[in-house]
Structure 1
């Protein structure tokens, strides 16, 4: 019977005693949490925390805040609670108090939730001592069950369901609160039972057992209490209560319910054995629904508002004709209901001699589309999409039967609303509406109505069109319609819709402000103004407009919810915005436009699985949706499912584009094919699709798309090592982009040019491009992009050995990354600073930086950053002469990259591994790695990587004692090689010459001149190898004066680099220098030091590698006794 929720010193078996365990810390009104939430008042305290009403200053709205009791929290409990919140935030239902977010302000841990303006069920029960009418009680519980059904599907039990956790607002809507709080904190105290005893099932109260009927038992207790005004149990101690529950000796229901189905239902819920209770909440919900003589419904509260349709009925001028009399109204059938789900396409209104009046041809149909879209069971294909499809097909407004069939297939709808407006006299019009049904190749037409009116009053007659469509499809009444103030003509409103659609935002803004001045309570005008302001980049003013909308509307209205979404988006709270979207779609599941917006939001949140689900839902309803297949392909590519993107989505997207004759979409899809094949390493295919996409985009004058295609082509040419073509495409993209005034894209293009210059080792050119990008970005309102550019500029200064500027720019970059709270950027900057420490030979500092970066990357699940940190830690160990463990780590990283199909990463690490295995004498492993690299390199076509690959193959042969011939014709084209690759080739040529022959002075001087044509200060480790090889040459020809210069250069370089695995070579060179200058003591000292360091290195290696290294270094011709001392 664990009851460890009680303090051991004050435990009591009494249910009546107040258990004051600890002095609770509460917050005073005016307290500001995390600088955002202002505490207004305390609402009450429970076992797990205190609840406050607070104001969210950022969103200017009220929220409920639950501050958790500090004595319940430890590290494990906090983590458990955070994980639970992640689940609870997914619960979206009109009867669930929505959890927003978890926050911490120093020692205060709290969650934010929806603020419900109402009372708890406890308060209502206390005010109704004799209980509620049965139907009202059942109505409350039905709503509770609606909420529990959602959580049951997600495998979540409440475990602490009680009247205190059930809220009722002023419109009688019920909300269930505190899901998961108890279970999240269940491990904070050993053997804790975290329910409330009176409402807990006996097995849970006694043993802590949770099953599928745990919440059912609580429902039974609460329902009993609602009907009677008291709980079914009278025990005063927990032990007695448990026995009472087991014996089922609760008092019966009053006579008004005794012996009825209700009495049986409550008894079954309160059964002591779980198997005798209703086995699912769904079955319990159905039984309660039957008791109130209605079928189970998700929404049981209707909200009535003055609608657009209502104001249309005020005045009728002229004659009105309904073609069907009252006794012959349109019949409603199951088929017609199914048609509504499949969709209704609203055609642009047909006019005669009035085609220039856009409010009639486009504005009015748009308003009608929005109105009908509020019907939960009707899928509406709006006028905008219908007209766009007709325009792409070249269809005029007069449609033949065959054209209707084609449109029906493309729009995936069997029904069209065909409306015509005819001028029949001075200031007189006739409106005629038909429903056109498409079944296979057959067309049938049903007249809905015909009416005539004057221009001034015409818009009011539209009510009849809406009503007729409702009747035709058997639609439920639309309860959330456009609220039009009296005196405002729909003509003026429709004209506004057209202005916004045509992008005439300044005019639209001016007219809306005038309209709002005349009708300040017109919520729709405020909302439309907010949308216009957003498009104009005036976010703060838009936020004020949306705030006003919420003041004028009820929380369950669509316009209110959409305003909330916009506020969240302006505040950058995408998670909360997505939750509101989910709530809307529960009520309006046919709104594919809203579902598409939600999918886009999920993409921005990187919740790609959720985005895919929503997009699939759209294409299931509408297989020819103009962009959903395309967006699905992008999601699949981002998820790493590139082949699926090609096979399942892009092919369908391309077919849809061709069906619709949508060249814009076809260009986008072809470009996406290029992206996919690029990811798959099929560079030639990728290049072909990018080129096709470019040509299509050029044909339709899509300048944005042209810039993107040119940029993508440049990326392929860069990978293939064709840097000239890459730069040519980027410069062309910059010229195309100039008239677009897209500063953001222009900065990106300069950034890409900088990357290409950097890859070629043209660091000064790279600096020029990166600084051009930085100059643009510093004028933009995007601190993250500023950070990225500052980081890029700093890295080039680092490569240019300008430590001072590198450090300054990295500090600025880090400050901006911290400002935007981007831990990834901070890690990357720190890793770059680590490279600086590594170059300076500050091994300890570099080790600390990369160790911390690795730890941070692991905590944030950052793959690339973790790999970089691990790679440099391995490199540190390798440079220090510890070969075995680091090489194993690099092999592990390479294997991971292979699993992720990262070809470029595999090549980079493969080359690195092969190089180090050659250096350490592991020739068999080096040979295996080079064999694996060959097919990968054929996919990338990077000439610099191919050159390094050929050099490594030749070096391996040389070290194994094989004959090596460097035929220039067999090597990749040297034009456009990076300086790293060129130096790798030249240094190998010098090493080969020293190994195999007495190199001629002319050959040596040519190689030296070629090597020194590069800025070796930018390639410190290449410089070290070069100085060692040059010194060996001077030893061979006994030129101690030039040797002295090389020795002094080596010493200076080693001061900056610190210890290095090849230090024994430098010590041996210095020993030979002193031998040539007849300083036998120092020659002996450095000779012994060289032997000691070489032996230390050998101890790290297996026997076979030891033999290979001894053999290798025995080939150098030195006039010393190094090998004798070694052996």
Structure 2
């Protein structure tokens, strides 16, 4: 391959790499313990392109070394990864195939197909024909269309990045500075091929690619032999005009790629056929259609995938399974899993050998065109294997033969049966060498035993032996390699091996299903869904596959579609098989889907329907899960007795089975149940039990969740110091195991704690980290915005607080989270109340009233306080204070409501509210502490309040608090506080607040 002067640089402005850090790698250097450097192909800036040898797949490929790892931030690496993953979606003959992205301790690189050929920059040094120029330009246009359709902008179209391969086709290479949708800035340009707007904005677009396309067309035309234009239909002048138009200064004036295609498909009149000739051709084609010899039915079967169902008796199960494995070698024949067929025959009372009607039933149930019946019979006092092959519909016998069972091993008999099937169904076709010899059969039997015993180490050792065994065919070797890669959690390698098998056997549903599993492990849920759908299109009789596809849709929020389609198909399939475990699995999944849609009553019904299938004897762990789900839905519906009953049964079952983690989970759920009822001390007791069990089990993920729960209850009980200790411990664990969901939850809770303590800078750092995290769930994003709003509000940044509050509400609505929406709306209403925005407050309270039936008792009290303070509640402050004093509340809410009440309303010195505040309030809760000091009004309280105000100079309420202090020196402080507050409001807030406090 001719060396390519690859002058592309990194796609983002990373830190400058020192020359000594990025030297050319020597031949023989290994990268990722897999790729051996062969030679340098091209270089430029910080990028190097090498020819390498893939020691795993035993083939050569190209490797683009992007930059030394230490000089890229995590965000930059993630952007590179996303770009490579996006580029992998392009599957076009004129675009280099991108394979995998790698990050090692030293380097960041990706691999791609090795293109043998010559750069177009060198080819055009010599004259080319018009036919070649047109062909290459058309291929370039087609390749760019494929790129743009998936959102890829190449960004560096030039002759050096176009290779003419050995067959004379043009291949686009080097996506080093491509960007998705023009969102990534480009800092490198190729002289002469950069569009004017790209030079200005540093952002590649579809139009900038078309500009470079026009430049390249111009180069081709300059290099075309003049005399060769007479041999082509299109005129040179027309292409010169197209090249000029593509190079227009204004992007919108450049022709589209579709227009470029149309340039070659537009035909002049002299090339049109006369109507009379068209009519003759139509008649001729009709005659040919009806008179040409049609293929026989048998020949037609060779051109499409045929399905075979193998039925066996108890004595021939092993031979049936081995025959099934052997027939997987044939891409145009699909064998239904024999265990599935036998399960149908046994549970539905189907007599395949004795009844043609029953054979037709099994063919219909499995969508099979052929039935292979294997049965042990005694002939002349000797055991024989009956082989009966039939075609459906029609029950036509193709093979009816008896083979002495003593004539060979199970593997040899299976080989003989498979050859007979092949003779009948795949006559004359060449298949890969996938013979199921004794060696392979022995390996498969041992592997099955290891899997049944859950002996992973033995399974891994057997797979390694199988890969190296000389008598194992290539298909089985690659299957073993893929399975070993999955066990080793090397999912990228497993995907590559399976991709190769799919190319060789595109109609193998089982291989497609394995590839779907690999895609799930790699986190590519879209690709996993595609593979499951392909597998099910070939074999719809796999309820577990339907379930896995449904699970992916539920994870991605497509609950309604999963319920209507995949879960329903899975349930039907398991019911046809009379598979109790499968039915319990799917019914529980129905409940989960409805729970995520907040349709709680339907969710509870499905969980209760699943429970009888998940018995304590057969599926104790699964029963515990469903009991926990029932408790969750019952608690949400307010049926706490039923919830507690379900959790007690689940706990007892966990204790019986000795499953400490299951018991810990139930203790955790019981803690949540008491938390929902406001019984925080009881909740803390159960959360601590769960934590103790999880500490003994050594499960870091579960431990971090339990510590988070214990911290949160201490937070609600007002023990801030203990809550912070627990949260920082949980934070460290979550970071160490890279558990993002728990990490984000802890960060949000800790930020709220810091805000309430007035530690604004620490809270701001935590929230900034969350804001810059790309992989937050929508729920975490909504909660982050809620805390951002509280932080801004506390410091008087009212305009920003309102924007974040609105964002939190919108996100909660988008994910259909009624509880999160309630919390966000309660905060938004409080913000509007304090700023005197009565019209907005009325709208927010109306929205809250529509959610009121699902309020817990604390949310109801908070809602009623908002109505009381805004004059919309038919009650008095005294009556409401009695409600608060007689309710079981979190310390935070109790302190907040009581301090707001004494600040806004008059209470006698003898009222119980003051004594309760003396017991539960300390200066750690600085906002409530300052309000209470202002309400007391005595000179000592006012002096303490003034000192507190000076400790929190940015607190939004300082102006109001300073106005109640009778010390004369505070007037200037109050005016400064008001000025600062008003400057950080929007116009609507400013006007409303001025009216509320009666200032001009």
TM range (shorter): 0.7 to 0.9
Please say if residues 366 and 497 of structure 1, whose CA atoms lie closer than 8 Å, have aligned partners that are also in contact.
Answer: no
Q: Match of 1:735, SS?
A: helix
Alignment correspondent of 2:100: 100
CA shift, 1:675, in A, is 1.9
Distance 1:576 1:747, change over 3 A: farther
Alignment correspondent of 2:856: 942
Please say if residues 167 and 176 of structure 1, whose CA atoms lie closer than 8 Å, have aligned partners that are also in contact.
Answer: no
1:332-387 deviation line (CA, Å, top 9, x unaligned):
7146447x725111112x3xxxx5xxxx4322211111111221011211111112
Segment drifting more, 885-894 vs 824-833 = 824-833
Alignment correspondent of 1:915: 830
CA shift, 1:53, in A, is 4.1
Segment drifting more, 391-400 vs 688-697 = 391-400
Separation of aligned partners in 1, 2:690 and 2:59:
40
- Residue from 223, 226, 240 that aligns with 1:247: 226
2:38 aligned with 1:85: no
Alignment correspondent of 1:1024: 929
2:969 aligned with 1:1085: yes
Superposed, 1:741-756 pairs within 5 Å as 742=659, 744-756=661-673
Alignment correspondent of 1:925: 840
Please say if residues 923 and 929 of structure 2, whose CA atoms lie closer than 8 Å, have aligned partners that are also in contact.
Answer: no
Separation of aligned partners in 2, 1:729 and 1:872:
35
Distance 1:720 1:1094, change over 3 A: farther
- Residue from 362, 377, 383 that aligns with 1:429: 383
- Residue from 651, 654, 658 that aligns with 2:571: 654
Distance 1:384 1:829, change over 3 A: same
- Residue from 209, 213, 218 that aligns with 1:209: 213
Alignment correspondent of 1:526: none
Alignment correspondent of 1:951: 865
Q: Match of 1:416, SS?
A: strand
Alignment correspondent of 1:190: 190
1:605-639 deviation line (CA, Å, top 9, x unaligned):
44333233233334433444313333333222222
Alignment correspondent of 2:305: 341
Superposed, 1:113-512 pairs within 5 Å as 179-181=173-175, 184=178, 188-191=188-191, 208-209=212-213, 245-247=224-226, 333-334=298-299, 336-337=301-302, 341-348=305-312, 350=313, 355=314, 360-395=315-350, 400-424=355-379, 428-439=382-393, 443-454=395-406, 460-474=412-426, 476-482=429-435, 484=437, 496=446, 499=449, 503=452, 505=453
Separation of aligned partners in 1, 2:112 and 2:440:
41
Q: Match of 1:627, SS?
A: helix
CA shift, 1:870, in A, is 3.2
Please say if residues 943 and 973 of structure 1, whose CA atoms lie closer than 8 Å, have aligned partners that are also in contact.
Answer: no
Alignment correspondent of 2:289: none
TM-score in terms of structure 2 length: 0.73
Separation of aligned partners in 2, 1:623 and 1:494:
26
1:685-716 deviation line (CA, Å, top 9, x unaligned):
22222222223333984323312211212222
Alignment correspondent of 2:10: none
Please say if residues 1027 and 1050 of structure 1, whose CA atoms lie closer than 8 Å, have aligned partners that are also in contact.
Answer: no
Distance 1:242 1:177, change over 3 A: closer
CA shift, 1:717, in A, is 3.1
Separation of aligned partners in 2, 1:572 and 1:617:
24
Please say if residues 734 and 749 of structure 1, whose CA atoms lie closer than 8 Å, have aligned partners that are also in contact.
Answer: yes
Segment drifting more, 761-770 vs 361-370 = 761-770
Please say if residues 163 and 173 of structure 2, whose CA atoms lie closer than 8 Å, have aligned partners that are also in contact.
Answer: no
CA shift, 1:31, in A, is 6.0
Alignment correspondent of 1:223: none
Superposed, 1:754-765 pairs within 5 Å as 754-759=671-676, 765=682
Superposed, 1:783-862 pairs within 5 Å as 783-796=700-713, 806=723, 809-821=726-738, 829-854=746-771, 856-857=772-773, 859-860=774-775
TM-score in terms of structure 1 length: 0.66
| Structure with larger Rg | 1
Please say if residues 206 and 242 of structure 1, whose CA atoms lie closer than 8 Å, have aligned partners that are also in contact.
Answer: no
1:1049-1082 deviation line (CA, Å, top 9, x unaligned):
86797788775333455445553xxxxxxxxxx4
Alignment correspondent of 1:15: none
Query: RMSD of the alignment, in Å?
Result: 5.5
- Residue from 64, 67, 76 that aligns with 1:66: 64
2:552 aligned with 1:635: yes
Alignment correspondent of 2:537: 620
- Residue from 1025, 1044, 1061 that aligns with 2:956: 1061
2:598 aligned with 1:684: no
- Residue from 576, 582, 585 that aligns with 2:502: 585
Structure 1: any 5+ residue segments left out of the alignment?
8-20, 123-143, 169-173, 195-203, 218-237, 251-262, 265-270, 280-330, 506-534, 1072-1081, 1112-1125
Separation of aligned partners in 2, 1:87 and 1:626:
32
Q: Match of 2:603, SS?
A: helix
1:663-682 deviation line (CA, Å, top 9, x unaligned):
33332232222222222222
Superposed, 1:587-606 pairs within 5 Å as 587-606=504-523
Segment drifting more, 622-631 vs 763-772 = 763-772
1:133-160 deviation line (CA, Å, top 9, x unaligned):
xxxxxxxxxxx99x99998998899988
CA shift, 1:468, in A, is 1.9
Please say if residues 840 and 1056 of structure 1, whose CA atoms lie closer than 8 Å, have aligned partners that are also in contact.
Answer: no
CA shift, 1:418, in A, is 0.9
Separation of aligned partners in 1, 2:885 and 2:376:
72
Distance 1:398 1:950, change over 3 A: farther
Distance 1:242 1:711, change over 3 A: same
CA shift, 1:830, in A, is 4.5
Separation of aligned partners in 2, 1:483 and 1:167:
39
Segment drifting more, 679-688 vs 602-611 = 602-611
Please say if residues 877 and 901 of structure 2, whose CA atoms lie closer than 8 Å, have aligned partners that are also in contact.
Answer: no
Distance 1:563 1:65, change over 3 A: farther
Please say if residues 618 and 625 of structure 1, whose CA atoms lie closer than 8 Å, have aligned partners that are also in contact.
Answer: no
Q: Match of 1:44, SS?
A: strand
Distance 1:951 1:40, change over 3 A: same
Alignment correspondent of 2:636: 719
Separation of aligned partners in 2, 1:37 and 1:691:
51
Q: Match of 1:379, SS?
A: strand
- Residue from 505, 524, 531 that aligns with 1:607: 524
CA shift, 1:917, in A, is 1.4
CA shift, 1:484, in A, is 2.7
Count, aligned residues: 881
Higher RCO, Cα 8 Å, sep 6+? 1
Distance 1:468 1:769, change over 3 A: same
Separation of aligned partners in 2, 1:781 and 1:419:
50
Q: Match of 1:209, SS?
A: helix
Please say if residues 49 and 62 of structure 2, whose CA atoms lie closer than 8 Å, have aligned partners that are also in contact.
Answer: no
1:793-827 deviation line (CA, Å, top 9, x unaligned):
45555556666655555554444444444566655
Distance 1:586 1:845, change over 3 A: same
Alignment correspondent of 1:694: 611
CA shift, 1:657, in A, is 3.7
Distance 1:772 1:1022, change over 3 A: farther
Distance 1:872 1:1097, change over 3 A: same
Separation of aligned partners in 1, 2:91 and 2:466:
23
Q: Match of 2:567, SS?
A: helix
CA shift, 1:891, in A, is 1.6
Structure 2: any 5+ residue segments left out of the alignment?
8-18, 119-138, 180-185, 195-207, 233-238, 243-259, 266-295
Please say if residues 91 and 150 of structure 1, whose CA atoms lie closer than 8 Å, have aligned partners that are also in contact.
Answer: no
Distance 1:933 1:629, change over 3 A: farther
Separation of aligned partners in 2, 1:555 and 1:278:
52
Distance 1:375 1:782, change over 3 A: farther
Separation of aligned partners in 2, 1:695 and 1:493:
39
Distance 1:713 1:6, change over 3 A: closer
